[in-house]
Amino acid sequence: MSSNDTYEGRPDRQEPAEGPFEQRRISRDEAPQFVLPLVVRIEKAEPPARTDALETAARAVLALLSDERALGEGEWARAVRDWQDARIRKVVRRARGAEWRKAGTLPGISVRGEAAEVRVFPPVPLDGWPKELAKLQVSGTDLDDPEPAGPAAPEMPVLWLNPALDMSAGKAMAQTGHGAQLAWWELDRAERAAWRESGFRLAVRTAGPGRWAELAGSGLPVVRDAGFTEIAPGSATVVADHPALRARLARPV
């Protein structure tokens, strides 16, 4: 599983962008650094399928971003703002049995997929993890799909993975979380409400090489990894293809 997984961070609104979803390369290293912890339940006898875990992690990130405790004057709001003002770090750890139950006693949100379970916690300082989470394993058994995932429904938001990159399940979970977050930032209030009401319905799929090139150049949000683990800095890992954003790009200028 991936640790210290980071992408460049939120665009600086003081700088105009060349496209509606373009991210600027701006240093956030001087700000206090926070991390968003995610814990995936992996029992030895019944590990979740890889795609199920990736989709559930993305939905968990969205659940936290939209939670009342993370907004306005909510109890998590300050930590979420500080986290988003610096590098956007997500760390995925694994737990089973008693470890999973202990993690469930901490403030957070548990999200279930078809079989996957992921718990997301409010951001914590980079060197200030709760002891119940700090001792959890980062590396561990990777996940597989028993059979290839079928095509996503035409109007479903899709987080497209770069077919040229070989990422562990934990790394890919963090990257799909980044992609979901980028899409969330770009949606207006009504679009966010509709997505939330659907239960944050989404799919994660790996694009074919030709499709990836098309998506990466389409103007949709693209996650570019900071390169601390597994892949080279600046690698494009995920394209966030939400129907509302696609429709926006299709409008005449």
The per-residue DSSP string of the chain comes to: ---SEEE--SPPTTSPPSSTTPPP----TTSPPEEEEEEEE--SSSPPPHHHHHHHHHHHHHHHHHSGGGSTT-TTHHHHHHHHHS-EEEEEEEE-HHHHHHHTTSS-EEEE-SS-EEEE---EETT---HHHHTSBSS------SS---PPPTTS-EEEEPTT----HHHHHHHHHHHHHHHHHHS-HHHHHHHHHTTS--EEEEPPHHHHHHHHTTTS-EEEB--SSSS-TT-EEEEEE-HHHHHHHHS--
Residues 6+ apart with CB under 8 A from 104: 110, 119
Question: Could you tell me the pLDDT band of residue 26, with boundaries at 50, 70 and 90?
Answer: very low
- Of 230, 55, 61, 222, the C-alpha closest to 145 is 55
pLDDT of residue 11: 44
Model confidence, pTM: 0.89
> Is the confidence at residue 19, as pLDDT, over 70?
no
> Is the confidence at residue 24, as pLDDT, over 60?
no
Cα angle for residues 48, 119, 112 (degrees, 5° grid):
50
Question: Could you tell me the pLDDT band of residue 169, with boundaries at 50, 70 and 90?
Answer: very high
pLDDT of residue 28: 67
pLDDT of residue 30: 75
How many percent of the chain have pLDDT more than 70? Answer: 87
pLDDT of residue 142: 82
- Of 40, 61, 39, 64, the C-alpha closest to 50 is 40
- Mean pLDDT (whole number) for 62-69: 98
> Is the confidence at residue 185, as pLDDT, over 60?
yes
Read off the pLDDT of residues 110-146 as tens digits, 9 standing for 90 and up.
Answer: 999 999 999 999 999 999 999 999 999 886 558 999 9
**Phi, psi (deg, nearest 5) at residue 239:** -110, 130
Read off the pLDDT of residues 76-91 as tens digits, 9 standing for 90 and up.
Answer: 999 999 999 888 999 9
Q: Which structure tokens are listed for 95? A: 């737990």
- Of 182, 200, 161, 181, the C-alpha closest to 59 is 200
The mean of the pLDDT values for the chain is 89
Per mean pLDDT, which range of 30-44, 121-135, 136-150, 168-182 is the poorest? 136-150
Question: Could you tell me the pLDDT band of residue 228, with boundaries at 50, 70 and 90?
Answer: confident
> Is the confidence at residue 16, as pLDDT, over 80?
no
**Signed CA dihedral, 138, 181, 148, 43: sign only:** positive
Higher per-residue pLDDT: 29 or 141 = 29
pLDDT of residue 140: 59
